[in-house]
Amino acid sequence: MRNVGSFITVLSNGNVLSPQNLGQRDLLLAGGMIADITDRISPCAQIHVERIDVEGCYVVPGFIDAHVHLIGAGGEGGVTSRTPELMLGQLIRAGVTTVVGCLGVDGTSRHLTALLAKARALEEEGITSHIYTGAYQVPTPTITGSVRNDLILIDKVIGCGEIAISDHRSSQPTKEEMQKLAAEARLGGILSGKAGVLHLHVGNGERRLAMLFDIVRETEIPISQLTPTHLNRNTALLDEGIRFGRAGGMIDITTSLEPTPDNERVISASEAVHYCIAAGVPIENITMSSDANGSMPVFDEAGRLRSLRVAGIDSLHGALKRVAAEGLPLSDALKLITWNPSKALRLQPRKGTLAVGSDADIVVLDDRLDIQYVFAKGQCLMERGRLRARSAFEHEA
Ligand code: ZN
């Protein structure tokens, strides 16, 4: 249901992290944007303004989750293991106000047109949504017949992905195929004024990021065009990610990947972030995403499925809390899910920051970093920890 709140809101006395620490400030939200950030915004008798006192809280940019299976994914355990669709309330509870949807391993029974419709629904319901065209396999599915045309002709398409490499579930694409795909994404991005990234699912295979280093070395395609994810699968892969990040690439850590008894090689998102920073990757080159509603299968040495679970979108906020608790200043931790993905996806200056003129996408965190308020394009979608908006047919929790 569409939420109709106040058109003008003042968030007063919060500690504003833009994500830079601006200190205690008032924010004026009007027309879906941030109209002012200043010491004190005085009441105006002529205009109805909703004033919310958030003293003692952090006021931060809405989170950007750049890898979410909005219509579900998975299926590695057969058709009963296809994962479910994500609903608005789940995104809001997780503080996510900008989301990028993608297909996954199953490019047969999942369709980009369904993903596009879902993204449009979420936009109508109040948040900001984009999608990647494609799925794991190469040649990859598209809506119009080519990656380039999808980028140019379809508003919500901002890149191509998730294309699988170094994984037994990939289509085993050749380097030449990947070069062509990266070129398509780049040209489509240039001609549409979008990021046009090639977003890569990297599996447990020993080739790891070798193909990406080859593409950067052998073609004119800049490293910023390639955004590999799931790099915290194992230490050897993360070490290659560190090399990629130090060379100027953006590296993405998956927050729903957690070490489990049957998969001890995984490095938690927080540990991976600290490890990358200690190894010299600029924090500006690291992002985190949830992989929400993707399946998290574990295969044995022979390639047999051992276990399967569904990734949660709340892992993004959980990882933020943990990264901060483990010693990263909150303003830096926030960059991983606000400023940095916004830069990688060319969503600045409207997204990923709190500045005059940027969209009023805001999360208010209490002193324990729990989410109290969520605003998306100026609308209050969560108030004192309670949802004010849900998708149609979404059950009240
Ligand atoms: Zn993936």
| CA of residue 162 to ligand 1 center, whole Å | 6
Which helix (H) or strand (E) is 299 found in, with range?
strand 298-299
Task: Spell out, as residue ranges, where the chain has pLDDT lower than 70.
Answer: 1-6, 396-397
| CA of residue 258 to ligand 1 center, whole Å | 14
| CA of residue 36 to ligand 1 center, whole Å | 39
Which candidate, 83, 93, 45, 86, places its Cα nearest to that of 68? 86
| CA of residue 237 to ligand 1 center, whole Å | 14
Q: If you compute the radius of gyration of the chain from its CA atoms, what whole number of angstroms results?
A: 20
Contacts of 160 (CB under 8 A, 6+ apart): 132, 133, 134, 140, 147, 150, 151, 181, 184, 185, 188, 196, 197, 198, 199
| CA of residue 106 to ligand 1 center, whole Å | 11
What pLDDT, on the 0 to 100 scale, is given for residue 75?
A: 86
| CA of residue 103 to ligand 1 center, whole Å | 9
Q: For residue 266, give the 3-state DSSP assignment.
A: coil
Q: Is residue 291 annotated as a catalytic residue, yes or no?
A: yes
Angle at 212 between CA 103 and CA 318, to 5 degrees: 50
DSSP structure class, residue 83:
P
10 beta partners? 28, 51
What pLDDT, on the 0 to 100 scale, is given for residue 116?
A: 98
Q: Torsion-angle region of residue 351: left (phi > 0), alpha (psi -120 to 50) or beta?
A: beta
| CA of residue 326 to ligand 1 center, whole Å | 26
| CA of residue 123 to ligand 1 center, whole Å | 24
| CA of residue 391 to ligand 1 center, whole Å | 25
130 beta partners? 100
Angle at 226 between CA 222 and CA 231, to 5 degrees: 135
C-alpha distances in angstroms, 203 versus 18, 172, 208, 337, 340?
34, 11, 7, 22, 23
| CA of residue 160 to ligand 1 center, whole Å | 13
| CA of residue 93 to ligand 1 center, whole Å | 23
| CA of residue 295 to ligand 1 center, whole Å | 9
Q: Residue 391 is encoded by which pair of tokens?
A: 């998708």
b/e map of 31-40 (b: 16 or more CB within 10 Å)? eebbbebeee
What pLDDT, on the 0 to 100 scale, is given for residue 397?
A: 56
What pLDDT, on the 0 to 100 scale, is given for residue 86?
A: 96
Annotated catalytic residue, options 26, 150, 167, 291: 291
Which candidate, 109, 118, 114, 115, places its Cα nearest to that of 78? 109
Sign of the dihedral defined by the CA atoms of residues 200, 203, 209, 215, in that order: negative
What pLDDT, on the 0 to 100 scale, is given for residue 205?
A: 96
| CA of residue 201 to ligand 1 center, whole Å | 4
Contacts of 124 (CB under 8 A, 6+ apart): 2
- The per-residue pLDDT for range 374-389, each reduced to its tens digit, is 999 999 999 999 999 9
User: Is the CB of residue 357 less than 8 Å from the CB of residue 43?
Assistant: no
Largest CA distance in the chain: 72
